């Protein structure tokens, strides 16, 4: 399970973060500064967030 975090930004807006468990990030070789493309899809009434790593 991944937990959604929200931090207050400017003008009463919030920035949302997904907290990925350390073990998963390490096993996938994710590093600080990696960039991802977010694709949001709705399937059978469920929300699917798909992240695709962008090559540098």
Task: Give DSSP secondary structure letters for 17-39.
Answer: EEE--HHHHHHHT--TT-EEEEE
Q: Is the domain 3-54 a CATH 2.10.260.10 member?
A: yes
pLDDT of residue 36: 93
- pLDDT tens digits, 25-51: 999 999 989 999 999 999 899 999 898
pLDDT of residue 43: 85
Closest Cα partner for 28 from 1, 51, 4? 51
The C-alpha R_g of the chain, in whole angstroms, comes to: 14
User: pLDDT over 70 for what percent of the chain?
Assistant: 100
pLDDT at residue 56 above 80?
no
3 state DSSP class of 40: strand
pLDDT of residue 29: 93
More confident residue, 2 or 33: 33
Contact 31, 53 (CB under 8 A): no
């Amino acid at each position: 399970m991944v937990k959604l975090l929200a931090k207050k930004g400017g003008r009463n807006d919030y920035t949302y973060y997904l907290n990925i468990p350390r073990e998963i990030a390490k096993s996938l070789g994710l590093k600080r500064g990696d960039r991802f493309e977010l694709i949001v899809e709705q399937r059978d009434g469920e929300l699917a967030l798909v992240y695709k790593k962008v090559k540098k």
